[in-house]
A and B are shown apart, each in its own frame.
Chain A
Amino acid sequence: MSSTGATIDFRNVRKSYGNFVALENFSMHVGRGEFMTLLGASGSGKTTALNALAGFTDIDSGEIMIDGVSITSLPTEKRGIGMVFQSYSLFPHRNVIRNVSFPLEMRGVPRAEARRRSEKALAMVRMDALADRMPHELSGGQRQRVAFARAVVFEPRVLLMDEPLGALDLKLRETLQLEIKEYQRQIGCTVIYVTHDQGEALTLSDRLAVMDKGRVLQVGPPEELYDRPRSRFVAQFVGANNLLMVQRAHDGAMALEGLGRIQGDVAHLAEAEFVSIRPELIRVSHSGGGTHPARLKETVFFGNSVRYVLLTDADKEISAIEPRRPGQEVRPAGARVGFDLDTTDLVALTA
């Protein structure tokens, strides 16, 4: 089972429901075989974008293209897209193999060949032993594997996944994430994956697009979005982060909310209104010292790391994460500590 992925282009797509604008001036290019994730909260427009591509919703204006050909006026079934849903959406009255062979049946593939290809798809997701089961006899994880096999059995060039792991528990979610990534590499199709789980987005994607209020705020590879968020929203949505308002002293020196004046290289922050810094880049000094004095407000023990919530003297909460070696002491809440940060680690954000 393999296919060459298609390119996908959204051009100035707009969709509104009454007064609610679900997608506004939405443009995006997805390359061949790319794994693109749309990340956002509910109501951000990510599902609307997916439904528009699938043909479940009409768009008000703009254009959607697969391999450079407009599909805007093409009915859903002619778009040649595979799709996996959060609710699995297996056909309850068909057994596993007949669920998987459904797309082939619809395409008039001869019965024997359809059976052979379906078995192959089931073998890929290691569900071949349960081919004769009915969907209600399967667990959630098994159902989603079958749904995946059904979505790729006809070798679509585009695969859409709408929060496919949303209904599963954490442990299974992590296993299936790795499986999905592996299958996609084998098949080679272009994937658009929708989720509100930023961890999932970072793990799976070649690139991800953070969406809010029907717009794309930032698109890029996971490392880029993690390391260099451009806006407050992205900085806070992708991974844990500390957000600080920039204040400028009257002599032109730079100060940060709750931290006061900062020394060091701040040239890259010249235009910033806000800056962010990741908790793992904050260095807590337990033995006194540290440029910024603080009090430990809260300590959360994770086993391999410890998260400290620090309260500066100006009452600003700063979150810090420290790796931990076995036997290393965990400071209790209330202790006086200090912390340091490198100004080069501060990321400039727009409002």
Chain B
Amino acid sequence: MRVPVAGVTRAVCLCAVVGAVGLLPWLSGRDPALTVLRARSAEQEPTRQALDAIRGALGLDAGPLALLGSWLRGLLRGDLGTSWVSGHEVLPSVGAGLQVSLALMGAALGVTVLLAAVLLAPVLACGRGAAGAGAAMLAAVPEFLLATVALLVCGVWLGLLPTSGWEGPRNMVLPALALGIPAGGLLGRLVADALPAALDERWAELWRGAGVGRARIAAAGLKRVLPPLVPQFGMVVVGLTGGAVAVETVFAVPGIGRTALGAAKSQDLPMLQGAVLALLLLGLVTGALAALVRRRPLGPALRDAGLSLPPPRPVRVHPAVPLSLAAVLLTAVGWGLLRDPYAVNTVARLAAPSWEHPLGTDGLGRDMLARLGYGAAATVGTAAAVCLLSLLVGLALGFLPGVAAGAADIANALPPVIVGILVAAVSGPGVGGAALTVALISWPPLAAHAAALVQEVRASAHLTAQRGIGATPLWILTRHVLPSVAAPVGRHALLRLPGIALAMASLGFLGLGAQPPAPEWGLLLDESRAYVERAPWAALSPALALTLLAALAVSAGAVRGAGNATRGKAHAHGKEGSSHGEDPPREGSPRRCLT
């Protein structure tokens, strides 16, 4: 019963996404004719006739269905239309961008695999051990932050490598590193979490007892662990398409991600449609490839038995780590809140840290510490609202596991940045749109956790007893099921707060979230990027704050094993009472670092 429901939901969601892309010009609501007029001829007055002429030429007055129809017909003929801004055909630009992006992603994939191998080496050599903590940290650092720091250190201070453009292999190094390191960390962590448990299984004991060499056992362990993780590797690659947007923007690489972002900002909707479609296609092809690859080593085992891994042994972190990180952040934020984030002082522009300005000043002479403090306060408020929204969605869908599975597949296959671009194209960039974006993609792990708990509670004898005493379904739901599900899922949602704040920051960095002069952290980093050579501290303090936030996200999740990718329903029916509601969240997907 569950598979068809998930399949139908998947198809419906996919159609909805493609439909939303096709309807962008109509959904965006604002008048694109004005944008086009401004872009084409700056001196022409925006008279009614001129605007009407443009509307007629673009087909905007035909209504949404006709618009979607003509776009789809063009799509079938391989015609993506012409750019509103440049007047050029969309398809060649998309093709050129795709080529660049594919090369970049290929290089990044190389970095990913290399890094994962380095992270796994100690685990494989010793048979057990914890590569998890470092890998998890690397996985949590968002690409935009890593790209900015790489730009600052390697490009500007050391002057080793070119920091912008796309001329030769030397241009590729920094972007590929920035893109590949978080993905490599994620990949390494997934395998490192699963491997020790697999190497403790009976067969490994037996092989050791029989005198089989370490290398062969390690190889067999890898073979055992990799196939079930392939779908998640597919998602890592999909994540690269999202990360590419930030990295290409920072390093001025003319790839498809930057094209999409630029088109979204300039309201060039045909170009945006083409670029987003290309990115979606890239994600879908990757997902299909992953499914194929997975079928190959497993074959019938997949169909017949549903091969699953033993529950992974995630790295546990002492609660003192996240607590002290939170304390450091709170201190800085509290101090900053006592100051004025908007006071412009052009005399003290880009001042170095001093007693008067502990973190220096930005390009307008505003106090960085104050801006960090106020930015945090605003971000935490928004992130809390997003958290609550995704908690509600997750709880609701937890009761409909079939629907949730299909929708979660699509939500997982969509890089957050692309959702952010679409939302920004529809509603204009802003905090509300960014919050909606993050809420749209952050519910699947919560829904998976809720679904597992619902299943566990429903299977318990005391619910049967409730029906036995004549209780109505509503009574059972409100008195028994919801209370035992809502509390643990709520705690889980709370642990995701730093990750959500980080996602908001990455959208802010790309100009898709909070708008200047709001002191949002991602925006702070973006604004200071222009001055990195003269005033590196202005970029370093938001970068440091974001790194602390990433560390907080990782360590908060690891305290109780929350947020770790687990598979199967191995211990869904643990001993009632003791295990009740304390299971680690089960997810269908690795936690992406939300860029």
Q: Do A and B bind each other?
A: no
Chain B interfacial positions (CB closer than 8 Å to A): none
